[in-house]
Amino acid sequence: DPAVPAITISDSPIPPLVPEEMDPPEWRPVRRVLAAQLSPAASERLRPRARWWSRHLVDQVIESGSCELVTDLAFPVPAAVTLEWLGFPQSDWEMMSQAFHDPAAYPRESPEAKKASQAFAAVTARVKEEVAQRIAVPCDDGLTAIVQSEVDGEPVTPELAEALVFMTIGGGVDTTSALASAAFLHLHRHPEDRARLRAEPELFDSATEEFLRFYPPARTHARTVTSDVEFAGCPMRAGDRVLLSETAAARDPQVFPDPEVFMIDRFPNRHLSFGAGIHRCPGSHLARITFTELIREVLERIPDYRIVETGIVEYPNWFMIGGWAKLPAIFTPGGRRD
- HSE-CB at 143 with a 13 A cutoff on CA atoms is 24
Strand partners for 306: 330
Strand segments (E) across 141-274: 150-151, 154-155, 220-224, 229-231, 234-236, 241-245
pTM: 0.93
Positions in the chain short of pLDDT 50: none
Neighbours of 200 (CB within 10 A): 13
Q: What element of type H or E holds 194?
A: helix 191-199
pLDDT at 70: 95
Print burial letters for 95-105: b (CB count within 10 Å at least 16), e (below 16): ebbbbbbbbbb
127, 329, 333 from 65: Cα distances, Å = 38, 8, 4
Report phi then psi at 79, rounded to 5: -65, -45
DSSP letter at 131?
Answer: H
Query: How long a stretch of residues is the chain?
Result: 338
Integer Cα distance of 321 and 103 in angstroms = 10
3-state percent breakdown (helix, strand, coil) of the chain, nearest 5: 55, 10, 35
The pLDDT of residue 263 is 98
pLDDT number for residue 14: 65
- Residue-wise pLDDT for 285-317, tens only, equals 999 999 999 999 999 999 999 999 999 999 887
Compute the distance between CA of residue 332 and CA of residue 206 in angstroms, rounded to an integer. 28
The pLDDT value recorded for residue 320 is 74
